Amino acid sequence: MSNTALTESNPQNTLAVDAIQQPTNTAELADLPVEPDIDALLDIADEVDITWVRKQSQLDEVIEALATCGRVALDTEFIKRDTYYPRLALVQLNTGNHVYLLDAPQLQLSELWQALIKVDVAIWHACGEDLGIFYLLSGCPPLTNIFDTQIALSYLTGQLQMGYQQALDEQLDMHIDKEQSQSDWLQRPLSDEQEQYAIDDVRFLPALYLSLEYALKSQGLYGYVWEDCRLYASDLYDAQNVADEAMYLTMADYRYTSEQMAILQAVATWREELARATNQPRTFVIKKQAVREIITEKPNSMRELAHKTTMHRSMLRLYGEELLKVIKEAKNLHPAEYPDCLLPPYRSKNKVLSKAVQQAIDDQAKATGVPANVLMRKKWLGQLYEVIAFDKDMSELPQGLKGWRNDWVMQTFIPVIEAHKTELQQGMGIKV
């Protein structure tokens, strides 16, 4: 296979964005590409040119390459161990026949972010943290061109979080070293081992993509993966843009009273604002365990804060009085101002509903070839239970159940749950 086969956008191999919403298995099979020659792809990967981009003027070549490559493989290296804002150290791009290593601290990258939005397919592996940084630095809307090979592999293996090293081992019979993942990526020059690690993180991604594309299209799953990748990119955007006053929901528990929820919201908001203002991780301000202890103990004094929580003593000295004021103000709110409690999850010793639900999932998984744990995520099922148990409008279905899964959910899956609605409501503490 030539380099051109990797770098040109091929409409027969790339689904248009407007076709992603309603993937058609028959169309995918008709659009099946030639089975890739893995050995040839690995030979191409071994021969790619490597270019360091350290000057702003050199970035023009990268932008031009992105405008014509069709597909690009990406990764980033960053450090955020001791800061609120991650420090981007390196951006790696593979356009198919060329790997670019962008020395991020030396560059202004706004044009790069805009160029990446326009690429047909942006290939990542486990892009969660990378996309978080992308959104933070670029100010761009949710990306719609993401293809995450980790998500793709979940459809083929049922393993939700397969690492890049394992993916290359199993899919391409290729081993790479991952020992440099936690090294200092801001040091210059990088060690030979760091540079090789950075290159390898994108060197083989185009080959992995083509291998997965063929397998997914062979099974009629390619469009499903595209839709889930878009959903993931949108979820990551939402997570990156949570308002300070809503951060408490990431730590909320359905067992908290309304007063405890008010304290949690106040403490979480205070923690977020302080972490950002001082550019240190949230856990450096106060760890989640200490937040939970504050919620349950509701301390009134420095002594209680010191003896009833595990808040770090240095932070206690610096901010203890300020935190106590935040807690007191929350406790003094009128109950009408308290945030809502979380709805309880479904809990029941009666397994009739659970067995019926699992059987329906397993039947659909067998029919579609999609692993059961990919077809229906636990979070989605919990949200669906809330919709049905509390008679909410179907517009409140989780987004993941509004796409290609929707027909099955509405026509088959919801009726199964509705048949056991009384048990569901009882298991969620609703009197019926």
Using DSSP bridges, classify how beta strands 71-79 and 87-94 pair: parallel, antiparallel or unpaired.
antiparallel
| Burial state string for 382-395 with b = 16 or more CB within 10 A and e = fewer than 16 | ebbbbbbbeeeeee
Instruction: Tell me the three-class secondary structure of 279-332, residue by residue.
Output: CCCHHHHCCHHHHHHHHHHCCCCHHHHHHHCCCCHHHHHHHHHHHHHHHHHHHC
Element (H, E) at 271: helix 258-278
- pTM higher than 0.85: yes
Which residue is associated with the tokens 């049922």? 158
Residue 181 is predicted with a pLDDT of 79
CATH number, position 308: 1.10.150.80
Residues 83 and 199 in one domain: yes
Last residue of a domain, one of 285, 313, 337: 337
Could you tell me if residue 31 is inside a domain? yes
CATH number, position 225: 3.30.420.10
Q: Determine the average pLDDT of the residues in 86-91.
A: 97
Q: Bridge-partner residues for 87, per DSSP?
A: 79
Residues 123 and 94 in one domain: yes
- DSSP-derived letter for residue 18 is G
Using DSSP bridges, classify how beta strands 87-94 and 98-103 pair: parallel, antiparallel or unpaired.
antiparallel
Band (pLDDT 50/70/90 cuts) for residue 421 is very high
Residues 204 and 231 in one domain: yes
Residues 218 and 270 in one domain: no
Q: Bridge-partner residues for 92, per DSSP?
A: 75, 101
Could you tell me if residue 347 is inside a domain? no
User: Structure tokens of 311?
Assistant: 């808040």
Residues 307 and 193 in one domain: no
- Whether residue 4 is predicted with pLDDT greater than 70 in this model: the reply is no
- Which residues constitute the domain of residue 295? 244-337
Residues 188 and 255 in one domain: no
d(CA 170, CA 41): 15
d(CA 357, CA 76): 40
Could you tell me if residue 324 is inside a domain? yes
Taking the CA atoms of 333, 336, 337 and 338 in sequence, report the sign of the dihedral they define: positive
Element (H, E) at 191: none
Residue 179 is predicted with a pLDDT of 82
Residues 329 and 379 in one domain: no
- Whether residue 253 is predicted with pLDDT greater than 90 in this model: the reply is yes
Residue 431 is predicted with a pLDDT of 85
Strands (DSSP E) contained in 33-157 are 49-53, 71-79, 87-94, 98-103, 121-124, 146-148
d(CA 36, CA 351): 46
Note the pLDDT tens digit of each residue in 169-206: 999 999 998 888 788 999 999 999 999 999 999 999 99
Could you tell me if residue 270 is inside a domain? yes
Residues 134 and 269 in one domain: no
Are 109 and 137 contacting, i.e. CB atoms less than 8 angstroms apart?
Answer: yes
d(CA 240, CA 384): 24
d(CA 357, CA 354): 5
**Distance from the first to the final alpha carbon of the chain:** 65
CA dihedral 201, 203, 204, 206 (to 10 degrees): 110
Last residue of a domain, one of 306, 337, 368: 337
Last residue of a domain, one of 240, 259, 278: 240
Note the pLDDT tens digit of each residue in 134-157: 999 999 999 999 999 999 999 999
Could you tell me if residue 343 is inside a domain? no
* Helices first, then strands: H and E counts in the chain: 22, 6
Note the pLDDT tens digit of each residue in 390-408: 999 999 999 999 999 999 9
Strand order in the sheet with 121-124: 49-53, 98-103, 87-94, 71-79, 121-124, 146-148
Rounded to 5°, the CA angle 78-81-82 comes to: 115
User: Across all residues in the chain, what is the average pLDDT?
Assistant: 92
d(CA 227, CA 231): 6
Residues 175 and 38 in one domain: yes
Residue 94 is predicted with a pLDDT of 98
| Burial state string for 307-323 with b = 16 or more CB within 10 A and e = fewer than 16 | ebbebeeebbeebbeeb
Could you tell me if residue 346 is inside a domain? no
Residues 173 and 42 in one domain: yes
Residues 193 and 270 in one domain: no
Residue 25 is predicted with a pLDDT of 55
Could you tell me if residue 206 is inside a domain? yes
Residues 229 and 94 in one domain: yes
Residue 349 is predicted with a pLDDT of 84
Which residue is associated with the tokens 């951060």? 247
- DSSP-derived letter for residue 96 is S
Are 261 and 252 contacting, i.e. CB atoms less than 8 angstroms apart?
Answer: yes
User: Structure tokens of 391?
Assistant: 């008679």
User: Structure tokens of 389?
Assistant: 């148990």
Residue 28 is predicted with a pLDDT of 58
Give the number of domains in the chain. 3
Which amino acid would we find at residue 139? G
Q: Determine the average pLDDT of the residues in 109-115.
A: 97
Residue 27 is predicted with a pLDDT of 56
